[in-house]
Amino acid sequence: MLKDFSVSALMMGLLTAFVGFVSSFAVIMQGLQAMGATAPEIASALLAQSVSMGLLAIVFSAWFRMPISIAWSTPGAALLAGISVIEGGFPAVVGAFVVCGALIVLSGLFRPLGRVIRMIPAPLANAMLAGILLSLCLAPVKAVAFNAALGLPIVLTWMVVVSRWRLWAVPAALVALVLVLIFGVELPADTMEQIGAAIHPDLTFIEPVFTWSGIVSVAVPLFIVTMASQNIPGIAILKVHHYEPPPGLLFAGTGIFSILGGLTGGVPVNMAAITAAMCASEDAHPDPAKRYWAAIVGGFGYIGLGLVAGGIIAFVSLAPPILLQAVAGLGLVNAFSSAAFAAYREPETREAAAITFLVTASGASFAGISGAFWGLVAGGAMMALRHFMQSPKK
């Protein structure tokens, strides 16, 4: 096995971990903060998620000799950012995470459930995702309006870098945020002491509370988003590169770790798409049979980053919240544009997709249930009505 190791796999694996963590952790922070999590709880969640992603990538990649990359549910975290604090507080959110993880396990072990998810019309699933992402994608504009001297350098940095080096755009925006903090914001005199004290997060388990609102408003939409935008595309990416992964076993594994990580307040972990493409590319190794080492190295990288997550959170938390939201929003622009394009591509389903998008993006909840769920219901009803009205009458 060690004979397959190469310098190219080492470099791609380290790049994968860095890009995967830095490009998404701001979204994770925003989602958990919106749900009422404290800074120590967020640090604990990031530690658990990073270790989970790392262990799963290492074990699966070594076992199947495939570049199986694992990520956290970034669209799922964006979903949380658009939902107000639910009844029962953060413990109820933890309960929803556990239920979501259990549903992912069932989708792997019970194939009909996986087929049900795939039966959700793609335009509606993409419209729901676009509606979820909209509020965060508006944050860069709000950041510039809040303080152009602070927000504009972050946005301009992202625009310049994304035009030439797309993968580095969000890390570059994060570097810009750090520079803005250092040179544009008056930091406390004991900043370094605060970072040093918080650098190694403590793993904290939270007793879950199971509520109807949490299950319907958080667990079900989170499960749908994770499966439709992460797990299923992640499998597809591997197949495009001529690998044949076992979906059921991979889904079940990520679901089990999502349950365990959920007990610490972490969003689900799942199959990666973007970082999977990186690890499965020729840049990882000319020989496809040896590219799995890139995912293994990436797994170790995730674990290392998770061990210092507390210090990262302590530093970025010193920024005005809108600036961190801006970085998170910039990281989701590509996902938003892709989802919106896929949602409105087919003329026959545009009205249904538009309704799903608008209801979801409104952020309004009915009967204690979030707009993401009702967006799918409303779009599905519109699609069914159109089909009924256009069916030939006997």
Structure tokens at 65: 């000799």
For 125-169, the pLDDT digits (tens) are 788 878 877 887 898 999 999 989 889 999 999 999 989 887 778
For 255-282, the pLDDT digits (tens) are 999 999 999 999 999 998 777 877 887 8
- Tell me the average pLDDT across 206-210: 94
For 298-327, the pLDDT digits (tens) are 999 999 988 888 887 777 777 787 887 888
Between 49 and 26, the higher pLDDT residue: 49
> What is the rounded distance in angstroms from the CA atom of residue 21 to the CA atom of residue 15?
10
Distances (CA, A) of 137 to 170, 228, 330: 13, 20, 6
- Mean pLDDT of all residues in the chain? 84
Per-residue pLDDT for 394 more than 60? no
Q: What ranges do the domains of the chain cover?
A: 2-333
Per-residue pLDDT for 368 more than 70? no
Q: Is the dihedral of CA 367, 368, 373, 374 positive or negative?
A: positive
> What is the rounded distance in angstroms from the CA atom of residue 322 to the CA atom of residue 347?
37
pLDDT above 70: percentage of residues in the chain: 92
In the chain, the amino acid numbered 225 is: V
> What is the rounded distance in angstroms from the CA atom of residue 84 to the CA atom of residue 217?
10
- Tell me the average pLDDT across 178-192: 76
DSSP state of 230: I
Please tell me the predicted confidence (pLDDT) of residue 342. 86
Side-chain half-sphere of 315: how many Cα atoms within 13 Å? 16
Please tell me the predicted confidence (pLDDT) of residue 275. 78
Per-residue pLDDT for 210 more than 70? yes
Which H/E stretch holds residue 149? helix 148-162
For 54-73, the pLDDT digits (tens) are 999 999 999 999 999 999 88
Please tell me the predicted confidence (pLDDT) of residue 393. 60
Residue with tokens 């170790």: 300
Which H/E stretch holds residue 271? strand 269-271
Please tell me the predicted confidence (pLDDT) of residue 154. 92
The band of 365, judged by pLDDT with boundaries at 50, 70 and 90, is: low
- The C-alpha angle with vertex 25 and arms to 163 and 143, in degrees rounded to 5, equals 60
Buried-exposed string 50-65: b where 16+ CB fall within 10 A, e elsewhere = bbbbbbbbbebbbebb
* DSSP secondary structure letters along 72-126: E-HHHHHHHHTSPPPTTHHHHHHHHHHHHHHHHHHHHH-HHHHHHHHHS-HHHHH
Please tell me the predicted confidence (pLDDT) of residue 255. 95
Q: For the chain, count helices (H), then strands (E).
A: 22, 2
- C-alpha of 324 from chain center: 16
Distances (CA, A) of 278 to 73, 232, 233, 281: 18, 17, 14, 5
- Tell me the average pLDDT across 319-341: 81
